[in-house]
Structure 1
């Protein structure tokens, strides 16, 4: 390999977060993002029989106080679809430290190019066609999501599995604008989005909890994961809107063997190591 000029090297390192990771076979995230080599990585396969029922999770009810977000930005960043939320929506209780508030920062989606795969976590080795993540940061201890990453009690991700069935009305606001986000870098402001529509019935408190990491680089650990047992339902037409998105900017040259479509954007499951998964239900 020819020596790079220092300018080229600087360009490469500046773009490293952008360039050096993807979901292709054999791409080693750990080379550039050392946290990805940690022992407590996500996602995991969740063995429902081995999850430990923990009645203490029900002592302080897991409570989400989500507000409707006005002028929400929806982005295709080439890896996923992100909804950036501006309203002060918070989660408290459950497995979280008492009196700490976790503020909702964004929603991210992971989906398969076909219905038999797509979720990052699996349950008893079963994958769902989609999984969505509500990423929160601890606003009691930290000043922003960047500061909270990788810190003790810094980040909470609430994960929801998605199955195919009837149309999801709450996600309609998103799936209706995806055609305007076909290429990487495209974004759109939508007038109104209600994150409450992404949660299961508030009386269904059935969830699992474990300690893991971000599932995308930098793969920082110290993330509390809450996975709801009951999946959301979206229609086949809605998931097809996600599958039409592209992972490249308009007009970009596509590498051989890559169809340029955004999908199968899930990380393989990681070893559980010595972690336990707790359940808020028997």
Structure 2
């Protein structure tokens, strides 16, 4: 699954310790996690509302090749920090406003039957790629060098367009939600593309070799140290409306 996460404002990253095993308890430390507009959600395609206004100005992702991008294993996920002027316009956004791509993050399962944060008609995908606003082989080639938590690697070139599932960007869903990791702020507009990006099993297996702990440090009690299943369970839709750019 492929999604674009667009923040209406920047949120400070909390220094408090959290993990996916304690997902149900996040609200004790991060009050926003108890909100009514949390993410991720299940997309029920039959209940999504076609919104013709999304076609007034076509969605445009003007992604430029990033030079000297940092790839980081933070023990929770894999992040790519983008240093190029890559912006998103059109679609659900006011005319004249631009949203700049900040970084790309990955969520995946330890098995192919799960991994994505969002589901479509209750179907999960092995991985979800989120962009906050590569030639993938170039990325997977360096994962062994950042196998452990805290490890980072600079890659000379990355083209974010290679991770777009639909070159025409015509079919997508939109809804108002939150960050899927603490502090779970509800200031996010989610775009989820209808058609998934195809990755090979071997490529996803490279992500499953990553570790949640630093090199030379034992994993925490009850943890096998494998980085994976780093997704939050789907949250209630409540009274939100899922809009679609296609009938």
**TM-score when scaled to structure 1?**
0.81
Whole-Å separation in 2 of the counterparts to 1:103 and 1:192: 18
**1:112-127 alignment runs, 5 A limit:** 112-127=109-124
Question: How many residues are paired up?
Answer: 235
Aligned match of 2:78: 81
- Which of 175, 197, 203 aligns to 1:238? It is 203
* Alignment partner, residue 140 of structure 1: none
Q: Secondary structure at the match of 1:17?
A: coil
Alignment match of 2:27 (pick from 17, 24, 30): 30
Displacement of 1:202: 2.7
Quote the residue 2:230 is aligned against. Answer: 265
- Distance in 2 between residues matched to 1:260 and 1:18, nearest whole Å: 21
Aligned counterparts of 1:26 and 1:38: Cα–Cα separation in 2: 14
SS of 2:138's partner is helix
Separation (CA, whole Å) in 1 of partners of 2:151 and 2:119: 30
Q: What SS does the aligned partner of 1:210 have?
A: strand
Contact 1:20 / 1:32 at 8 angstroms: preserved in 2? no
CA contact (8 A) 2:64 2:85 kept: yes
Which position in structure 1 is the counterpart of 2:153?
188
Please give the alpha-carbon distance, in whole angstroms, between the structure 2 residues aligned to 1:173 and 1:239. Answer: 14
- Partner SS, residue 83 of structure 1: strand
What SS is found at the alignment partner of 1:91?
strand
Instruction: Classify the secondary structure of the residue corresponding to 2:136.
Output: helix
Which of 55, 60, 74 is the equivalent residue of 2:57?
60
- Supply the RMSD in Å over aligned alpha carbons: 1.4
User: Which structure has the larger Rg over C-alpha atoms?
Assistant: 1
**Residues 33 and 217, structure 1, Cα contact 8 Å, conserved in 2:** yes
1:32 positional shift? 1.1
**For the residues of structure 2 that align with 1:104 and 1:255, how far apart are their CA atoms?**
34
In the TM superposition, structure 1's runs of 4+ consecutive aligned residues that sit over 6 Å from their partners are: none
1:31-60 per-residue CA deviation (whole Å, 9 max, x = no partner) reads: 111111110000001100000011110111
Residue 214 of structure 2 corresponds to residue 249 of structure 1 = yes
Identify the residue that residue 95 of structure 1 maps to in structure 2: 92
Structure 1 residues 26, 71: closer, same or farther in 2, change over 3 A? closer
Partner of 2:8: none
Q: Which has the higher contact order (CA 8 A, sep 6+)?
A: 2
Contact 2:166 2:195 in 1 (8 A): no
Pairing 1:278–2:211 present: no
Unaligned runs of 5+ in 2: 1-12
Shift of 1:18: 4.6
1:208 corresponds in structure 2 to 173
- Asked whether the equivalents of residues 246 and 260 of structure 1 are also in contact (C-alpha less than 8 Å), the reply is yes
* Stretch deviating more after TM superposition (246-255 or 271-280): 246-255
Cα deviation for residue 201 of structure 1 reads: 3.3
Does structure 1 conserve the Cα–Cα contact (< 8 Å) formed by 2:176 and 2:188? yes
Q: C-alpha offsets along residues 118-167 of structure 1, whole Å, 9 cap, x if unaligned?
A: 0000001000000000100xxxxxxxxxxxxxxxxxxxxxxxxxxxxxxx
CA spacing shift, 1:77–1:215, aligned 2, 3 Å: same
